[in-house]
Structures are given as structure tokens and as C-alpha cells.
Structure 1
Amino acid sequence: MAAAWDRTLAVAPGDANTRMARALLDLESGADMQPGYETIRRIVTEDPSATDGIAEKWLYFALCRRDAAEMASALASLPPEGIIPWNIRIPRSFFAGLAARVRNDATSAETAFNAARVEMEEIVRQQPDYAQALCVLGMSNAALGRKQDALSQSRRAVELLPVTKDALAGAAVLTNLAITYAWVGEKDLAIKQLEEVVRIPAPISYGQLRLHPFWDSLRDDPRFEKLIGESKKPIALK
């Protein structure tokens, strides 16, 4: 895959998104953050107007680096509606909460996660069976310590959108359920869910498990360390 991206870069060396995608591959496959950091610095210096287009990946790198200044800059480039990874919209307020949590700013984290909760609650009120919004609502409630709400919403999202119905979004909903379990202190359930997720095409990788704050509450568990190793193995497609 690296060779394919290198060939694409040879054709369009100045394309910001292609450069970011190539750097992201180094992070995902090898937990190497330096190429991404250097790429972002060059893009921002060469063409500040390109930052909006790379904001999602920029924030991902910044969260993995635990870099407060980079997180703030990337968040400022995100639109209020946030991003739509794997067909699931996650509002900017949610990521603002996650960034605040990384900075150990509990007050700002609560404010931001609560804003995300309110936004997702309104969507779910209008569309009770909208799994994508339910799973984000569940994660927001997990961050706020609303354990039972978080579990019921995240589990309901999986019921509504299994991978057999939508392989892309369904895998993301499963991953978000694992995050919810981890955040509410259900480590055994989080590990069990991750054991399923790492064996299917899903928005998860060696680099993410190794570096991203989504999984910080599991880092002292040897089973999680084993899963990090398993995530480097190729996925057997059925």
C-alpha cells in the first residue's frame, strides 16, 4: 500500500490530502507520528488555506501526539458539524471534549461533551432509530459518566446497524461500542468487543490502538497489549 501511495504522490506531489494519506499510513501501520507531523508543518507553511481540507487527519495526528497546540489548531479548522468518518457524523464539540480530556481539563471536557450530547439527543429525538447518532450519543454520555444511558444507546445502535446491514458504518458502530465500554469502566466487555473488531475491516489500526486517547483506560491491561499485536496481522476477508 505504501508503494501505491508513493506512486500517487509522484504524480501529484503537492496535493495536501494525498500527502496526509501517505503520512497516515505510517501512523496506522507503524505508530510512527513523525512523518505526519512533518507533513502537516510543511502544508501549513506552504498553503495555510489548505488546513480546512486536512483538519480531520490533522486532529487525528494531534490527538495521537497529545499536542495541545496542534489539537487547538486542528479543532479551529473543523466545521461545527464535525467530521464523518466511516459514515458516522461526530460533531466538533465531541472532539473538543476529547482534546480537553487529553489536556486534563475536566471542566472544559464536560462542557464540550455535554454540547455533543445535546446535539445528538436532538437528532435522536427526531430519528429514534438513527444508529449513527445513537452511538455518538452513547459515547458522549460515557464521557460524562452517564453509564446506563451510554450502554443502552450504544448497544441499541449495534442492534439497529449490524455489519451484515452496513459493513462500513456497522463496523464503526461496533468500534464505538468498544470505546463506550472502555470509558464507562467495563474493561472486560471492551476487550471482548475489540477482539471482534480487530478481525474485521473496521476503523481501527495498530497505530490507533497504540497511540490514540480513545483507548487510554485499557493500557494497563495485558489483554489489550495482546490485541495491539494482533491488529498488525492482515484481516482474513470472507
Structure 2
Amino acid sequence: EIARQLGVANILEGSVQKAGDQVRINTQLIRAATDEHLWAESYDRKLENIFGVEAEVATAVAEALKTKLTGAEQKAIEQRPTNNPEAYDAYLGGLAYSLRPGYSRAENDDAIKFFREAVRLDPKFAVAWAWLAHESALGYFNQIGTDFQALGEEAKRAADQAITLQPDLAESCLAQGYAYYYGQRDFDSAIAWFEKARSLSPKNSQVLEALALVNRRTGEWQRSLEYFRQAMELDPRNVTLLSDAGDTFRQVRRYAEALRTYNRLLDMIHDEPHALASKIKIYQDQGDLAAAAAMLAPLHPATTSDLFEAQIDQWSYERRYADAISALKDALEKPSPAATDDWNTITLEARLAWLQQVSGDISTARDTWENVRAKLERLRSTRTKIFGAEELALAYVALGDKNKAFAIVKDADAVVPASKDAMAAIFLPGIMARIAVIAGDKELALQELERLAQMSGNPISYGSLKFSPEWDSLRGDPRFEKIVASLAPKDAVSPTK
């Protein structure tokens, strides 16, 4: 099955056993069609000599297949990324966090720490510098930790160091691209660097994935999907790639393709929370609450996971407010020790305040919204004005200050203009619609929803409009019902497909 997915005739399997500074590597070459063992060998090495095994294995495999490595291939396998085993171990630790599906602020922070350690141990480790640039830029983009500005500066330094050490390395060019993408929101410069990386490594799935991601920002959704398809064809078992591709298919409401992509990921990692949550959210998006409930029933999601968010959404749609409120209160009593700041707590409290509000507990909701507002104002004092804009705007409108709420959205648009970022172009109108409906401005809410209904990547789904109590005041209005009907899924898929 693996050989079929990869489109290859032979599979190289291996295992590693480590004891102290000794390593045993067992390898075997298998013909996939017949399960015939073509070659096998074991290697005992000291940890400090581990990198030489790669070249030995590659040469032996080529001989077993009666072929010969080209000069470029021989040079590539002989080129060691580092001579420091401890630096390489730290680098692998960083990749273990970087390459997980979905996004986590805590995992982003952990990856940065590992890559920092890798380059500290070996300042000439170009690939580690490149990954440090990527993860630091991503942390800056998401404004994690207590000093996100320093992450932006670190990303630029790390990317420059990678280019200085190995200017013809695709990963170095990727690092520069991500420093522009995440660090400066300069998408044109990012694309230029990603294209340079592609010229150096045409079959590198990470390069194609980078191009897919940045093209979403420029509004080139079809081009983005094509890059994802090319990347998945080259690297069909890359779970990070499958996750990002599935997310993009879901965002443009290509639900059947999204589900197929998530299922490929789950075939490899059966309980992967982001893919499970995304499948559940697709059924919710389509208005199939029964299918979503069936998937959620056997699960007990961690409070920091996407699955927990999907469970809260489900209870909200089913009007099971007491269950959702109880779960959120329990989650707030057990904050994650891995949290880099108060953001996760604030998002949970915002959900709690909204549920208290729609359930009719107005006084308690007001107290919770006030707590959200105070915490977010403190946190935003060291962030840009797009950070937490939705939650803060909702807090202000719920507390009766709709003018302040609209001003927050306007300030966010000034930081990241919708005209320069297609993702912001769909994000900000969604906030405006939510504020307007709480403020009782039905006309503005309908205008924003009508705009969103015409846009690729619209974050407000058919399922949300159909079932969320948030939109109850609009129900029965012909314009609203027309918007709902226009978003009804045309390729609805069941859990059996």
C-alpha cells in the first residue's frame, strides 16, 4: 500500500536501536509486488559516526538494484548537514514539533527552542538556521510569547545566516521566503524566494506547499490548490502537507476532496486530533449534525485541541448550553501548563461569555465579557491591533459599546488591509457581521453576510447560519434565508464516503 501511494517498485525499511553512544541500524530492501527481500544489512556505529551510514546504505541499495548513483546524487548523500550529533538531535526535536498537523502556539514555541539549541551547538548548521527562521517567523506572525517582536528579528537573522552558510540550499531560500511571508507580509517577495527554492529543488514538496500557502494570501485559491495537488503527488505520506491541503479544500468548501485528504492522514495516524476535528467541522459546516455527533460520541477531547472547539460548536448548534458551559468552566479550571501566554484562556472565556449570553444568563455573561475585555486589553498592549480583534470587539459590543467594537475592526484593517491579504478580506467582514447582529443592526449584518457569501474562503458556513443561535434574530428575513440557501452544500458527503 505504501509503495502504491509513493508510486515506487521497491521499499527500503529500517530500524534504529540506541544504547549509550552506540547505534545499531537495521535495513532491508523489499520488492513491493512480491514482498521479496532484495538486500539486508545491519550497521553498528558510534553516534558520532552515524552520518556516514546514509552514504553506505544508498550505495548498497543502488548495487542491489543494479543501478548507479549519479555524481549529483553521490554528492548530495555525502554532504552532511552537521558533524555534531547533539545538534542534529536537537534539530530532529524541532522537526517533531514543526511537522505536526494543525497549528499550536505551544508547539511553535517548543520548535523554536529546539532549533535554537541546534544552532547553538553548531553555528554552521544551515538547515537548522533555516528551520529556526521559519518557526520564529511563524511565531511572530501569530504573536506568541511575551516578546513576539524579537521573534521577527530572530527570523530575519536566522534566514540571513542560512543563506550566508549555504546560498544554494533550497531550505535557505525557503527560510528567506517565510521571513518575508510571516515576518513582513510581503507576499510578492516571499513568492520570489519560494520560486528560487523550486529552481534549486524542483521535486521538493515543502517548496510547493510554501507556494500553496502564500497563494491563499494573494487570493489565488485555484493556484494554491494546484500546488497542493502537485506536492501531495510527490509526497503522499506527508501528514503536515495533507493537513494543510485538507484545511484549504475545506475553506473553499470542496468538502469531498477535504474529507479524502483528511482520511489519507488518518490512515497513517488514526487518532490525529486536527484531522478528526476537521472532519467533524465539515459535517457541521454542511448542517449534518447527526454525523458530527456520531464522530464526537466516543471522543474525550483535550481542552486545548481542535476537537474541543468542535464539541463546543456541536453543543451550541444543538442548544445544549448547559453542557457547553460546564465543559468550558472545567477547562478554565485546568489551564494548560504549556501555554505561552493567556491567549488560550481568553478564547475559552470568550466562548463561555457568549454561551452565557445566548442562554439568557445576561448578568453572568456581562461579568465574563468584562473579564475577557480586561485580559485582552492587557495582552494587546504588547501586540498589534489585529491580535484578538474579534474577541475584543465582541466583548465591547456585548458590553454595550458598539462604536468601540467597530473601531477595533477598523484598526485591525489598518494593520492588515483586506486589499493586501485575501485571508484578512474574509476574516474582517465575518467579525463585522457578528458585531452587527449582536448590536441589533440587522441591515449591516445582512450586508456583510451577503458580501461573504460571494467570497472564496468565506469563514461563516451554511451549518453556522442554519443552526447557531448567533443568527436567530435574522431568521425568517427573506434576505437571510436566501443567503443560507446559497451556501447549502452542493457536494454534501456522508461519513461513509
- TM-score when normalising by structure 1: 0.80
Aligned position for 2:314 = 61
Which residue in 2 is equivalent to 1:33?
289
Task: Write out per-residue CA displacement over residues 53-103 of structure 1, whole angstroms, 9 at most, x where no aligned residue.
Answer: 2212221222222212431354233658455xxxxx962211111111232
Amino acid across the alignment from 2:331: S
328, 331, 351: which one aligns with 1:77: 331
Contact 2:416 2:424 (8 Å CA) reproduced: yes
Higher strand share: 2
- 1:92 lines up with 2:348 in the alignment: yes
Q: Does the alignment pair 1:189 with 2:441?
A: no
2: CA distance, partners of 1:17 / 1:134: 24
Q: Percent identity?
A: 26
> Residues 130-209 of structure 1: matches in 2 within 5 Å?
130-200=385-455, 201-209=457-465
Q: Distance in 2 between matches of 1:145 and 1:163?
A: 27
Amino acid at match of 2:373: R
- Partner Cα separation in structure 1 for residue 389 and residue 262 of structure 2: 35
Whole-angstrom distance in 2 between the partners of 1:165 and 1:196: 18
More off after superposition, 207-216 vs 4-13: 4-13
- Scaled by the length of structure 2, the TM-score of the pair is 0.41
SS in structure 1 opposite 2:460?
Answer: coil
Are 1:102 and 2:355 an aligned pair? no
Deviation, structure 1 residue 10: 4.0
**Structure whose residues are more often helix by fraction:** 1
What whole-Å deviation, never above 9, does each CA across 1:7-41 have from its counterpart, x for those lacking one?
44444443343233222211102x11122222222
Structure 1 213/158 Cα, relative in aligned 2: closer, same or farther at 3 Å?
A: farther
Relative contact order higher in (CA < 8 Å, ≥ 6 apart): 1
Alignment partner, residue 11 of structure 2: none
Q: Quickly say closer, same or farther: Cα 1:113–1:151, change in 2 above 3 A.
A: same
Take 1:219 and 1:16, find their aligned partners in 2: how far apart are those partners? 34
Question: What is the total number of aligned residue pairs between the two structures?
Answer: 223
After superposition, residues 114-133 of structure 1 pair within 5 angstroms as: 114-127=370-383, 130-133=385-388
Change (3 A) 1:90 1:171: farther
Is the Cα contact below 8 Å between 1:150 and 1:180 reproduced in 2?
yes
User: RMSD between aligned alpha carbons?
Assistant: 2.6
**Structure 1 unaligned blocks of 5 or more:** 84-88
